[in-house]
Structure 1
Amino acid sequence: MDRDQPAAPVNPALRFLPYAVMTVVAGADVAAGPEVGLLPLVSLGPAFAGLVGGWRRTAAVGALALTLCGLLGVYDALLGERRGYTAMAAVAGVTAAGVAAAVMRQHREAELASVRSIAEVAQRVLLRPVPRRAGHLRAAVSYTSAVAEARIGGDLYEVVAAANGVRAIIGDVQGKGLAAVEMAATVLGAFREAAHTEGDLLRLGTRLECAVGRAVAGSEGDEKFVTALLAEITEDGRVVFLNYGHAPAMVIRPGGHVSFVEPSEYALPLGLVAEGDRPRPYQTRFGPGDQLLFYTDGVTEARGRDGSFYPLVERAGLLAGTDPQQALDALCADVLAHAEGPPHDDAAMLLLRCR
């Protein structure tokens, strides 16, 4: 980063504001005469320069302001009087304060840029892009974080092409903030490893239960849990689900028929599962042209201005596009339009299409 430039683009009008202010003050002083006492207002130039510019630019504007103040002092015959010296001292003092403020601001901006860079790397590692093609499926993802300027939060997703078929997960960690991101990383790490080694979806779920259980036992504060939906899509035309208290997947058939594949009984989320309360697998057919939409409650609970929830079933037609990612992006844009801005909760969607 250039230490003399702001970290973010600045409105050009703000760059010219110090010069405009000094020009107006000079004109008003010449027109009004020395009796009005406008000379100290020249210090507004370096004051505004310190808000948007680097320290060198602020110092340059301050030097220009001192020169202008001296010239006006000569014109008003105040340079040898106390009022003239007071005005010069005011300009010099404001310039020094503006330079110090610019240095401190640039230092904070550099630190913030470094933290953002590290955070972006961590975000890419945690929620890396899913493969556009996984086995006999095409995949697309969408993620909108409820935290300003963040790309991830407590929602998670992953798609893995394993020996038994394509395995996918979507989940939602209770709570927000860094603790939720840490728990999401725990679940994703366990899933990415176990999806390749466990031959049975139930055993894969058990591995996730153990990983979350260890994380919950080693954490302090409020009890954490994770709702999750696991799926295994095989090439023989079926998909098997394992649901830990998560919203059911939505199936869109080629003819436009939409339905939700729900378990006969919902199990508790990961982190709360007892030995006898584990979920039972359930399945549905999944053939060419079929689509599966996994989502978190940030999608279905997005509220419009009238308080209505997002009508996911009614908008399923947006997923009819030939490109899965473009279709999912259109659905995501529609969710944001319904909510009239970013959602109040993280919103993740995973779309799988059978080729």
Structure 2
Amino acid sequence: MPRHSASRPLLAVALACATLLSACGGGGGDSSSTSSGASAGSDVSVSNYQSLATPLARTVVNVAGSADVSGASGGTAQGASTSAVRTALRSVVSARAVALRAGGQARVTAVTSDTVACDSSGSVTITFNDADNNGQLSVGDSISLMLSNCAFTADEPAANGGLSMTLQGLQIDGQGIPSALQASGSFNALSVGADSMSGQFQMSYAPASGGMTSVSMSFTDMTASTSGQTVVYNTTFSGQFASDGSGSFSITGRLGLGGETYLLDQPQPFVLAADGHPTSGSLRMRDAAGDALVVRARPGDLVDFEFYPAGATTPSATLTGQPWSNYGG
């Protein structure tokens, strides 16, 4: 089942914006894993694992929802509105990249800006700082996006705020467009409707074998407020994606909920269909004692949640057959 185009998961929008320059279950309670990194007050239990499952499942949906960061143009792996934002931004960035590469023109300043109207309302401003003033995209150059009441369809909430990033590594193709990139930057009160996020990131993408694109994004103290709940990400999202949005990805690191920190690891990467949610794979969230919540994808746009006491290899409680659409998909 394709995702609802108007769902507009904020994290998916953020991932799409940050990468606009680019083109089945195992034992969840593996006692060999460490719980280092979880705060002392963190707690996963039979009484709360279902409530903790909601923000964790939303995170999976949002990452899966931005799967065409690999450069997909025809898939429906992310919401149509997010895809529209990304397509519009990429067209402007690509045009500026070619213009910078052209050279041979009188250049008054190394800083240039383009503002384009969003289809339904508002605008987005893209600013380039050609740090070495060499007329080409190169390491050290910086890019910022600022969205002002930007909506691409009438039924979606407007986006505001923005992001900035500095290029740390770059490969340019024959058309002057980045084919591989490394960058660091920040989200600056990026919001979609009532949801918002701010914090630091590092990201990269590069061609991989078999026509795939390898994508990675790491968040540092990234605070996101979604549906009235605040989540703090010190997390890495990494994967490989095909041009139709299919592929696989993993989520690792630490997740902050309710003032406590939980450890994330991925026993099995999520496998993503071109026009749907993960069909296999498992993500585990553990507390300081080693108790664990496992999110397990299965075919049919469904997800299971399992609670494992510390050291257990079989769950002591489960919630099975939940539609991914319950969590924003």
TM-score (norm 1): 0.21
Greater strand share, structure number: 2
Higher relative contact order (CA 8 A, sep 6+): 2
TM-score (norm 2): 0.22
- Whose radius of gyration is greater, 1 or 2? 1
